[in-house]
Structure 1
């Protein structure tokens, strides 16, 4: 039985549409979104994402990518990006750590950037690409904050959420 999605235990919020030219909901990730390291040789490229229909009163966005199936007991954070201004409703593929789009937090690879799929051999893992509409322009959380602290602050300020789930395995 697969692990629950991270949002199954959080307060319910309205959903909105998230689309991507690189990730298909229910599909398999391409090599571009696979990590380059830890025994994988992917492109490690963040996908292009767009969103619409988010709640009125949205003052910023956060984007997260999470693997609930990682054999860690706490999942695996692949990307944490927050303080994305409310007028930004899409991200191109290939966001770099130094791009001034918001604050990129430390993923579980130890980088402040997007980290692609990198599961161990075995069943495919699910990757949840989520956009969170927030009620504050800034979370006030530093880039060095642990993922759980970032997640706590995102949840405390979420007005709505949309997401895509794709899989990848070796």
Structure 2
């Protein structure tokens, strides 16, 4: 997609760090390019890869809009908005997972997404159900509710569960996965291509 400097979409590319130099077509800018790249790379190296959400904060509670809509829960089941910054400079794509580490057995996969283009640094709320991810060329796994895409929290009554939201920076443009494959398979492929990751942990109980 060709970037229009006068208008940006929610998916506009921002480099792994913050863009520090405007684009110019002059010979002077071209001669300075190597210096700009080197300076930006050094700055990136000292900044932490982070993820945040307008819908919850690290250590906080998942909001009602993100709750599942079955199995005794009746939330809207909207995937959360996410924004990430300062990914490694060699990042070629992103992946996202949400995992319940307190579910019985080996835990519970609520969401796994891969092949998010490197130009993307945020997702709007409900990107899973609205088709926003498909428009980006991303693919979603089948979660442990046995549905493709996002499945919100719906733990059994009792102690709150912890949900780990992770954004992965990957060293490949695409992973050899297909829409609807199990989330655990997505996780294995993601792990083999990860340059770095950013996490927040949120809770939900009923």
Class of the TM-score when normalised by the shorter of the 2 chains:
0.7 to 0.9
Larger relative contact order (CA 8 Å, sep ≥ 6)? 1
Over the aligned positions, Cα root-mean-square deviation in angstroms equals 1.4
Where does residue 146 of structure 2 map in the other structure?
Answer: 110
Larger Rg: 2
Contact 2:95–2:116 (8 Å) recurs in 1: yes
Q: Which residue of 68, 81, 84 maps to 1:35?
A: 68
Higher helix share: 2
Structure 2 alignment gaps of length 5 or more = 1-46
Higher strand share: 1
Q: What's the CA shift for 1:85?
A: 0.3
Query: Which TM-score applies when normalising by structure 1?
Result: 0.88
Structure 1 alignment gaps of length 5 or more = 1-13
* Number of corresponding residues: 156
- Give the Cα–Cα distance (whole angstroms) in 1 for the partners of residues 100 and 148 of structure 2: 17
Where does residue 158 of structure 1 map in the other structure?
Answer: 194
Change (3 A) 1:74 1:15: farther
Query: Which TM-score applies when normalising by structure 2?
Result: 0.73
Secondary structure, counterpart of 1:41 in structure 2: coil
Q: Which residue of 110, 121, 125 maps to 1:93?
A: 125
Where does residue 134 of structure 1 map in the other structure?
Answer: 170
Q: What's the CA shift for 1:92?
A: 0.2
